């Protein structure tokens, strides 16, 4: 069980997390959605101890983890598996050593056993054994991500974190991964926290969805409640609409307005071109 209470995190003047409250029950799959740059990755890195929030409390199975010693942190982290947004494979090691890394750190196993674990883990994410001896630099972007996912689940940790597991994958892979994450929860009883931008992924794997907006979790509910919600922010986000109350970071309102005008102008231009070409 993961409990976040009133988490604040700033980078210089930038106040990214402004009081996050979130609970992930044991054996639950929670999906976090939210705009680009809203602080989803920062939140995840805070939970696994890579970033230290200035304020608030993060409890893993009831144990406070902010400010614990390096040794205790290591113990806590042994329960975790993490997929980074950009894979973060160790590029000095071949794929199989990457995937079996945590297992080899934690237990004394032979090379052959480690390879077998790596292969099993890779097949779970839909990759073949011929990848085992390649280096991360030889992989495509999507394969990179999948190997990262295989690495996260290889040691079968009870708590899993996935930062955008399906971004950059082809539709078949996406489906495999969506169901894999759901199965991790249903069959292995893992607790998972997933960040995604993909609403169809969220619908498949989420027990619960949390919406992060402007540094706060402003909505939590089941996937069904999400679809039927009349919260204007959530509605705009879930349906991917340009018009709505959500302020996009870095995009100034005027620019968006100009964009819309250009779109309209373009539309008119197209009509005119069609007229000239003798379309009805």
88 binds, options Mg ion, ligand ATP, other proteins, none, Cβ within 5 to 8 A by partner type: other proteins
Distance of CA 248 to the CA centre of its chain: 20
100 contact, one of ligand ATP, other proteins, Mg ion, none, CB 5-8 Å limit per kind: none
* Beta carbons of 165 and 180 less than 8 angstroms apart: no
- Interface with Mg ion, residue 194, by CB under 5 A: no
Residues 147/101, Cβ–Cβ less than 8 Å: no
DSSP class of residue 246 equals P
Q: At closest approach, how far in Å is the CB of 215 from ligand ATP? A: 9
Interacting partner of 48 out of other proteins, ligand ATP, Mg ion, none (Cβ under 5 to 8 A depending on kind): other proteins
Give the end-to-end CA distance of the chain in Å, rounded to a whole number.
Answer: 63
Q: How far is the CB of 220 from Mg ion (least distance, A)?
A: 19
Torsions phi, psi of 136, nearest 5? Answer: -50, -35
| CA neighbours closer than 13 Å in the CB half-sphere of residue 37 | 8
Q: What is the DSSP string of 108-145?
A: ---HHHHHHHHHHHHHHTT--GGGTT--GGGS-HHHHH
Give how many residues touch Mg ion by CB under 5 A.
2
CB-nearer residue toward ligand ATP: 57 or 214: 214
Chosen from Mg ion, ligand ATP, other proteins, none, partner binding at 248 (C-beta under 5 to 8 Å by type): none
The Cα–Cα gap between 244 and 235 comes to 9
From other proteins, ligand ATP, Mg ion, none, interface partner of 38 (C-beta below 5 to 8 A by class): ligand ATP
Write out the residues near other proteins by the rule CB under 8 A: 45, 48-50, 70, 74, 77-78, 80-82, 84, 86, 88-91, 101-102, 105-106, 151
**At its nearest, how many Å lie between ligand ATP and the CB of residue 41?**
3
Query: Considering all CA atoms of the chain, what is the largest pairwise distance in Å, rounded to the nearest integer?
Result: 75
Q: How far apart are CA 23 and CA 21, in angstroms?
A: 7
Answer with the entry of Mg ion, other proteins, ligand ATP, none that 57 interacts with (C-beta below 5 to 8 A by kind): none
Binding interface with ligand ATP (CB under 6 A): 11, 16, 34, 36-42, 85
41 binds Mg ion (CB under 5 A): yes
Radius of gyration, alpha carbons of the chain: 21
The contact set with Mg ion (CB under 5 A) reads 41, 85
């Amino acid at each position: 069980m993961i409990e976040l209470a009133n988490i604040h995190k700033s980078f210089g003047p930038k106040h990214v997390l402004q009081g996050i409250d979130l609970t992930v029950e044991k054996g639950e799959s929670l999906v976090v959605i939210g705009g680009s740059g809203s602080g989803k990755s920062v939140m995840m890195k805070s939970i696994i101890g890579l970033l230290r929030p200035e304020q608030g409390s993060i409890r893993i199975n009831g144990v406070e983890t902010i400010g614990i010693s390096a040794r205790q942190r290591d113990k806590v982290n042994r329960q975790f598996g993490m997929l980074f947004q950009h894979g973060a494979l160790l590029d000095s090691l071949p794929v199989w050593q990457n995937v079996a890394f945590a297992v080899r750190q934690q237990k004394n196993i032979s090379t052959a056993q480690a390879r077998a674990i790596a292969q099993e883990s890779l097949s779970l994410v839909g990759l073949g054994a011929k990848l085992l001896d390649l280096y991360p630099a030889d992989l495509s972007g999507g394969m990179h991500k999948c190997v990262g996912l295989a690495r996260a689940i290889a040691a079968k940790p009870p708590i899993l974190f996935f930062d955008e597991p399906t971004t950059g994958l082809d539709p078949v892979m996406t489906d495999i991964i969506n169901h894999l994450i759901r199965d991790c929860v249903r069959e292995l009883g893992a607790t998972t926290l997933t960040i995604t931008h993909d609403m169809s992924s969220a619908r498949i794997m989420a027990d619960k969805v949390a919406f992060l907006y402007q540094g706060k979790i402003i909505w939590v509910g089941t996937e069904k409640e999400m679809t039927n919600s009349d919260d204007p922010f959530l509605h705009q986000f879930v349906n991917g609409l340009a018009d709505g109350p959500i302020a996009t970071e870095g995009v100034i309102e005027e620019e968006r307005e100009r964009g819309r005008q250009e779109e309209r102008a373009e539309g008119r231009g197209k009509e005119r071109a069609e007229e000239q070409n003798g379309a009805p």
